């Protein structure tokens, strides 16, 4: 038994040491690693190849969004900020910039104002990004395990109320955060949000439906389904319709949408 435990501990140390090593870094070309504040075009040209290589990084998407905004591509800016938030939902600068763009473009469809408690919950949920949730799950798993240890080895002559309460409390929290982690992970892989990149018409049906609304670039939509060259989307204000697939870019590309 001792040997097994020793081996396990050694394995854990080896893995942790391996995780501590620096990961593969994708450096920007050029002598200086610092991007220019003023020349957003040059910065964009230097950052865009990283995305094409398949790098997914919240700060990278954020910087791209800032560059696009300053270059007048509001749709791309919103798309990149949403991608940054998809990776790190607690990215404060990306969130603020989205709010800022929304304030600059009052003609964009507005989301209905949520009740305070809903806002509170959404903010807390956003604060716990995917990795923060994972850490919370580990911490709660540790606390639940310790509580179970306490319960297992609690003196039989004493009342077991305290360890049972601890196990229940930490267990429920562990289940809750595990569920949230699963949901967030699923959303990270299958985020249904998309951004309108060029002016498009929202129609009642795919192809030749009645026009409901003209959508401006930077409008955020939620993809419900896709059919050929058309996509069924829902606007933040709840209006639903069909839009040309080429006009929108999903936050998570290469997804298979339900037909």
Partner 1 sequence: MVVNKYLTVIFVLVCCAALTAQNVKVSATLRDGTIGLSDQMQLELKLSSDKKLDMAAPAAPQVPGFSYRNVLSSTGVQSSFINGKYSSSHTKTFTYIYLPQKKGMFKVPGFRLRIGGKDYATPDLSITVEDSATTTKPPQQYSFDPYYDPFGGIYPDRSRSQGETVLLCLPESQSVWLGEPAIISYYIYTDQRMDSFYSENENDYPGYGKSVYEQPQNLNYEDVQYKGRRFQRALIKRSAIFPQTTGRLQMPTLTGKIQFSGFYSYMNRKVDSSPAYINVKPLPAGKPAGFTGAVGKFSVNQVYSASKVTLGEAITCTVQVSGKGNFSQFTSPLFPSVDKFQVSEPSVDDKLRNPLEGTRHINYTLLPRETGEFTLPSVTFSWFDTSSGTYKTFRGQPQTVKVKQGNVLSYFSGLLEADAPKAMNPLLNRASHSDFRPYVYRTWFWLVLAVLLFSLIVSGIISHNNRLSREDPAAYAIKTANRVLNKYWRQATEAASRLSPEFYPLAESGLSQYLAKKFGISRSLGTGELLNELWQKELPPRLIKQMEEFLLLCQEARYMPGGTEATDLHGALLKLRLLVQALSRLRFGNGKPRNRFSANTGNSLPEEKQ
Interface pattern 60-99 for partner 1 (x via CB under 8 A): x-xx--xx-xx----------------xx---xx--xx-x
Maximal CA-CA distance, the chain? 77
Name the residue nearer to partner 1 (CB basis): 50 or 233. 50
Q: 132, 119, 127, 137: which is closest to 176 by C-alpha? A: 137
User: Residue 257: what are its φ and ψ, rounded to 5°?
Assistant: -95, 150
Name the residue nearer to partner 1 (CB basis): 101 or 233. 101
Q: Per rule CB under 8 A, is residue 3 in the interface with partner 1?
A: no
Q: Per rule CB under 8 A, is residue 110 in the interface with partner 1?
A: no
Q: Per rule CB under 8 A, is residue 117 in the interface with partner 1?
A: no
Which residue in 10, 48, 55, 168 binds partner 1 (CB under 8 A)?
A: 55
User: Residue 10: is it exposed, middle or buried by C-beta count within 10 angstroms (0-12/13-18/19+)?
Assistant: exposed
Residues in the chain: 259
What are 29's two structure tokens? 């070309």
Q: Per rule CB under 8 A, is residue 211 in the interface with partner 1?
A: no
Q: Per rule CB under 8 A, is residue 26 in the interface with partner 1?
A: yes
Distances, alpha carbon 177 to alpha carbons 78, 128, 129, 220, 239, in Å: 29, 10, 11, 28, 32
| End-to-end Cα distance, the chain | 55
As a whole number of angstroms, the distance between CA 56 and CA 54 comes to: 6
Which residue in 48, 135, 168, 183 binds partner 1 (CB under 8 A)?
A: 135
Residues that bind partner 1 (CB under 8 A): 1, 8, 11-12, 15-16, 19, 23-28, 33-35, 37, 43, 50, 54-60, 62-63, 66-67, 69-70, 87-88, 92-93, 96-97, 99-101, 103, 119-120, 123-124, 127, 130-131, 134-135, 138, 141-142, 145, 148-149, 152-153, 156, 181, 185, 188
């Amino acid at each position: 038994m001792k040997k097994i435990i020793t081996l396990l501990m050694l394995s854990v140390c080896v893995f942790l040491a391996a995780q501590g090593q620096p990961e593969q870094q994708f450096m920007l070309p050029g002598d200086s690693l610092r991007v220019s504040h003023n020349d957003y075009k040059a910065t964009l040209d230097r950052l865009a190849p990283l995305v094409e290589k398949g790098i997914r990084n919240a700060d990278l998407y954020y910087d791209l969004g800032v560059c696009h905004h300053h270059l007048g591509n509001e749709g791309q800016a919103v798309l990149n900020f949403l991608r940054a938030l998809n990776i790190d939902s607690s990215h404060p600068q990306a969130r603020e910039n989205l709010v800022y763009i929304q304030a600059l473009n009052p003609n964009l469809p507005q989301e209905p104002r949520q009740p305070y408690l809903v806002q509170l919950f959404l903010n807390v949920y956003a604060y716990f990004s995917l990795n923060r949730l994972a850490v919370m799950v580990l911490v709660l798993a540790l606390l639940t395990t310790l509580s179970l240890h306490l319960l297992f080895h609690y003196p039989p002559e004493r009342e077991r109320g305290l360890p049972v309460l601890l196990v229940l409390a930490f267990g429920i929290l562990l289940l809750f955060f595990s569920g949230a982690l699963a949901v967030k992970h699923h959303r990270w892989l299958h985020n249904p949000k998309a951004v309108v990149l060029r002016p498009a018409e929202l129609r009642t049906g795919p192809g030749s439906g009645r026009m409901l609304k003209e959508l401006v670039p930077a409008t955020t939509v939620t993809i419900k389904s896709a059919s050929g060259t058309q996509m069924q989307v829902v606007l933040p204000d709840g209006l639903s319709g069909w839009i040309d697939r080429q006009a929108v870019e999903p936050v998570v590309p290469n997804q298979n949408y339900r037909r």
